[in-house]
Amino acid sequence: MTETALLSSGAYADAVATATRAAAAYYTDGATPLGDDEYDVLVRAIAAYEQAHPQEVLPDSPTGKVAGGAVQGDVPHSVPMLSLDNVFTAEELADWAAGLERRLGRAPAGWCVEPKLDGLAVAARYRGGRLRRVITRGDGLAGEDISHAAGDVLGLPEHLTEAVDVELRGEVLLTREQFERANEIRTEHGAVPFANPRNGAAGTLRAKDRPYRIELTFFAYDAVGLGEELGHSALLERLAALGANTAATTAAAPRRCETVEQVQQRVEEIAGLRAELPFGIDGVVIKADDAADQQQAGSGSRAPRWAVARKLAAEHKVTRLLDVEWAVGRTGIIAPRAVLEPVVIDGVTVTYATLHNPADIERRGLMLGDQVFVYRAGDVIPRVEAPLVDERTGAERPIVFPEACPRCGDAIDTAEQRWRCARGRNCQAVASIIYAAGRDQLDIEGLGSTRAVQLVEAGLVADLADVFELTREQLLALDRMGETSTDNLLAAIGTARTRPLNRALCALGIRGTGRSMSRRIAAHFGSMAAIRAADAEALAEVDGMGPEKARLMVAELAELAPLLDRLAALGVGTAVTEPTAPRPAADAEPAAAAAAGPLGGQAVVVTGSMTGPLAALSRNEMNELIERAGGKASSSVSKRTTLLVAGEKAGSKRAKAEELAIRILTPDEFADLVAAHLPRA
């Protein structure tokens, strides 16, 4: 169904019933079997039918009602808490803005653009600056008292900075981190995990007498009692001054725009930041910023005429779990993957999603045939959140875990949450060789997937050390290996012996030691011998390592000892690498190490296409350059970022850096700054 398809009379009645049930589930505990996109399409189809047949409108229709008419309350609001009208495209937003201009007889004096938070709307009443009551929006006229949960909500202070009588209005939600922690707590207490953050926020706020506490976060976006003369931007500043949390502290901070073109640009910027935000958003809110414009435009029974929500494609969808596949990775990790009934999320058709590990499957209580929430943000790999337990029919089946390695049939090591083939890397020799030869590891040109398979199947290569023992005669005996190809491959293997320590370490594929971590470890210890001699306590001192990763690395280094001995004898990974910045003596100031190099103490992010001297560098090589120059490479812009290298088409990261007043350099300017550390041609 599309929003332009006109329903029949019978289909209209069915659509109203379906929408009513979905709204009731959504606004009570969030556990609706209908995704946001499907619900929006359904309501628009209902509205189209009602416009064509106004005499047939059913009393239960969700159109024109706050929360779709699905909820009520027993605590009256002093001023109605309205919903927002929605638009779904840039064209619809432009049409809405033009309509507001016609209503005002002129263009609004300015616009405020802010993220539409995906949580539960509440009103918090303060008397003399002290929190007295918290109420849900309900049907807009009256809500439900949830004051019992106020103590668990961050950003909702018990006392304001001034002794004022005011009602703060905003959204209570679970951040992504709070959501993960909430589900850990629930499963520890034998409860079913929340299906998604909104489900968790709604259920938590209404729950009483639980044997555990779940932390939530409040974001204020409106108030009653601070004076009608305040425009929206000024109101948000006033709320922050009173001690309330607002979206101004985030990358998607509210921003005043002077024109509709600027509004559209800001909408695109916030949409681009969506995956980086610590909480979920389902749209962007556009408001006439000046109080006089708001008062002149007025409000309808359901929504203000001076504000609208530009909805974004849903990140959560409901689909069916058809099967679970078990794949073996290059280190022998046995990873489950969900096979899904195809579903479109954020413009991408999703048929597979990660399930992390067997413990995760058990924690979420999944069964084959379940309807499940699937989540996708930006370019993040889709993942299954939780089943809709209330939608089970009895036909669902338990997920069968493998009893032997699905690749080689050997035993499975189940000592850790992530199961592993007892043969480890030897189970996936081809994958290990391909990874080690990759551009960001040893960069062995000519040793791609086809050649790796050929070498393994011929019995010439079983591990990485075998690659460095290949002879010209062995290679010439292979199919499709002439003298030129053989000599080129042997030359590339010879060059790989001299790769920096961090590349050799990364090529081993040790769990938890990707490109960035390998650089940090190499810089910290300086040689493979020092790394192998380090215990878990010493490894845990590396920035970002931590005790758990350190323990796993010690175990894997011990497992790899025979291979490492052979590689050392072959001259691979034996070069001594000086730390990025000289480590101070034990009695020296800790800051001394950070002071060396042109980027000493700097947190650097690279975005966009590099030009000039940097054009030929991969992103990994850029990160290596940053760390050689004394800096720390990062992939996302935050308050800790001190420098952004912005190339062509820098996009949202540049916008965020500008908001945070972070220093920005062009590729040429950055190349000049780190010229002494650039790789030699």
Task: Please tell me which residue, 345 or 95, carries the higher pLDDT value.
Answer: 95
Average pLDDT, the chain: 85
160 and 52 co-located in one domain: no
Residue 645 pLDDT greater than 90, yes or no = yes
534 and 642 co-located in one domain: no
Residue 593 pLDDT greater than 50, yes or no = no
- Tens digit of pLDDT for each residue in 114-132? 999 988 999 999 999 999 9
Domain end (from 311, 346, 372): 311
- Tens digit of pLDDT for each residue in 482-505? 999 999 999 999 999 989 898 999
Q: Does residue 28 form part of some domain?
A: yes
Task: Please tell me which residue, 137 or 548, carries the higher pLDDT value.
Answer: 137
Q: CA 332, CA 559: separation in Å to the nearest integer?
A: 13
433 and 367 co-located in one domain: no
* Residue 317 pLDDT: 82
187 and 328 co-located in one domain: no
Element (H, E) at 180: helix 176-188
Domain end (from 551, 579, 607): 579
304 and 241 co-located in one domain: yes
Q: CA 361, CA 132: separation in Å to the nearest integer?
A: 42
Q: Does residue 466 form part of some domain?
A: yes
Q: What is the mean pLDDT of residues 426-436?
A: 85
Mean pLDDT check: name the lowest of 376-390, 608-622, 626-640.
Answer: 376-390
Q: What is the mean pLDDT of residues 273-293?
A: 91
* Model confidence band, residue 32 (pLDDT cutoffs 50, 70, 90): low
Q: Which residue, chain included where needed, has tokens 């974004």?
A: 312
Q: CA 403, CA 672: separation in Å to the nearest integer?
A: 58
The DSSP bridge partners found for residue 216 are 153
Q: Which domain holds residue 537?
A: 501-579
In terms of residues, how long is the chain? 681
Q: What is the CATH number of the domain that holds 378?
A: 2.40.50.140
* Residue 16 pLDDT: 81
Q: Does residue 587 form part of some domain?
A: no
Out of 116, 317, 549, 653, pick the active-site residue. 116
Q: Which residue, chain included where needed, has tokens 């080689």?
A: 408
237 and 276 co-located in one domain: yes
* Residue 681 pLDDT: 57
- Tens digit of pLDDT for each residue in 81-91? 998 999 989 99
Task: Please tell me which residue, 206 or 499, carries the higher pLDDT value.
Answer: 499
Q: What is the mean pLDDT of residues 201-222?
A: 89
Task: Please tell me which residue, 23 or 430, carries the higher pLDDT value.
Answer: 430
Which parts of 497-651 fold into alpha helices (H)? Answer: 501-507, 515-525, 528-533, 536-539, 546-559, 561-569, 619-628
Mean pLDDT check: name the lowest of 134-148, 187-201, 596-610.
Answer: 187-201
Task: Please tell me which residue, 589 or 160, carries the higher pLDDT value.
Answer: 160
> Could you give the number of structural domains in the chain?
6
* The most confident of 535-544, 551-560, 665-674, by mean pLDDT: 665-674
* Model confidence band, residue 274 (pLDDT cutoffs 50, 70, 90): confident
* Residue 103 pLDDT: 94
Are 185 and 13 in contact by the 8 Å Cβ rule? The answer is no
Q: CA 321, CA 390: separation in Å to the nearest integer?
A: 15
**Closest alpha carbon to 664 in 600, 595, 596, 602:** 602
* Residue 544 pLDDT: 77
Instruction: Annotate 94-103 with b (16+ C-beta within 10 A) or e (fewer).
Output: eebbeebeee
Are 182 and 214 in contact by the 8 Å Cβ rule? The answer is yes
N- to C-terminal Cα distance for the chain?
A: 59
* Residue 588 pLDDT: 36
Q: What is the mean pLDDT of residues 213-237?
A: 92
Q: Does residue 1 form part of some domain?
A: no
Residue 196 pLDDT greater than 80, yes or no = no
Q: CA 586, CA 582: separation in Å to the nearest integer?
A: 12
**Closest alpha carbon to 146 in 134, 130, 131, 158:** 134
Q: Is 287 a catalytic residue?
A: no
Chain CA centroid to CA 236, Å: 26
Going from the C-alpha of 73 to that of each of 26, 60, 380, 510, the distances in angstroms are 16, 17, 38, 56
Domain end (from 389, 413, 437): 413
* Residue 494 pLDDT: 93
Residue 364 pLDDT greater than 50, yes or no = yes
- Tens digit of pLDDT for each residue in 395-422? 999 999 999 999 888 899 998 888 988 8
Q: What is the mean pLDDT of residues 657-675?
A: 91
286 and 371 co-located in one domain: no
Q: CA 634, CA 543: separation in Å to the nearest integer?
A: 13
Q: What is the CATH number of the domain that holds 44?
A: 1.10.287
What is the percentage of the chain residues whose pLDDT exceeds 90?
43
119 and 214 co-located in one domain: yes
Which tokens in the block code for residue 329?
């990775």
Residues with Cβ < 8 Å from 190, sequence gap 6 or more? none
CA angle 427, 429, 433 (to 5 degrees): 150
Mean pLDDT check: name the lowest of 246-255, 379-388, 562-571.
Answer: 379-388
Residue 69 pLDDT greater than 80, yes or no = no
Q: What is the CATH number of the domain that holds 661?
A: 3.40.50.10190
Going from the C-alpha of 271 to that of each of 222, 315, 411, 512, the distances in angstroms are 22, 12, 46, 31
The DSSP bridge partners found for residue 327 are 335
85 and 16 co-located in one domain: no
166 and 287 co-located in one domain: yes
Are β-strands 111-117 and 120-127 bridged in parallel, bridged antiparallel, or unpaired? unpaired
**Closest alpha carbon to 516 in 547, 549, 552, 468:** 549
How many CB atoms sit inside 10 A of residue 228's CB? 10
Q: Which residue, chain included where needed, has tokens 């959560």?
A: 316
Q: What is the mean pLDDT of residues 148-166?
A: 93
Q: CA 441, CA 182: separation in Å to the nearest integer?
A: 38
CB-neighbour burial class of residue 443 (10 A; exposed 0-12, middle 13-18, buried 19+) = middle
* Model confidence band, residue 582 (pLDDT cutoffs 50, 70, 90): very low
- DSSP letter at 609 equals B
Q: Which residue, chain included where needed, has tokens 């953050």?
A: 197
How many CB atoms sit inside 10 A of residue 192's CB? 15
156 and 215 co-located in one domain: yes
Q: What is the CATH number of the domain that holds 542?
A: 1.10.150.20
Residue 591 pLDDT greater than 50, yes or no = no
Q: CA 541, CA 535: separation in Å to the nearest integer?
A: 10
Q: Does residue 419 form part of some domain?
A: no
Going from the C-alpha of 546 to that of each of 512, 534, 543, the distances in angstroms are 10, 14, 8
CA angle 253, 255, 257 (to 5 degrees): 160
* The most confident of 386-390, 605-609, 624-628, by mean pLDDT: 605-609
* Residue 2 pLDDT: 40
* Residue 375 pLDDT: 79
172 and 301 co-located in one domain: yes
Q: Does residue 3 form part of some domain?
A: no
Q: Does residue 486 form part of some domain?
A: yes
Residues with Cβ < 8 Å from 374, sequence gap 6 or more? 316, 317, 318, 319, 340, 343, 345, 350, 353, 382, 383, 384, 385
* Residue 310 pLDDT: 95
Q: What is the DSSP string of 329-342?
A: -TTSBEEEEEEEEE
* Residue 595 pLDDT: 46
Residues with Cβ < 8 Å from 521, sequence gap 6 or more? 502, 505, 513, 531, 539, 542, 545
Single pTM value for the model:
0.58
What is the percentage of the chain residues whose pLDDT exceeds 70?
91
Q: CA 398, CA 365: separation in Å to the nearest integer?
A: 9
* Model confidence band, residue 211 (pLDDT cutoffs 50, 70, 90): confident
Which parts of 326-476 fold into alpha helices (H)? Answer: 358-364, 429-436, 449-457, 464-467, 472-476
* Residue 427 pLDDT: 80
Q: Does residue 418 form part of some domain?
A: no
Q: In terms of C-beta distances under 8 Å and separation of at least 24 residues, what long-range contacts does 446-449 make, across chains too?
A: 446/485, 446/488, 446/489, 446/492, 447/489, 447/492, 447/493
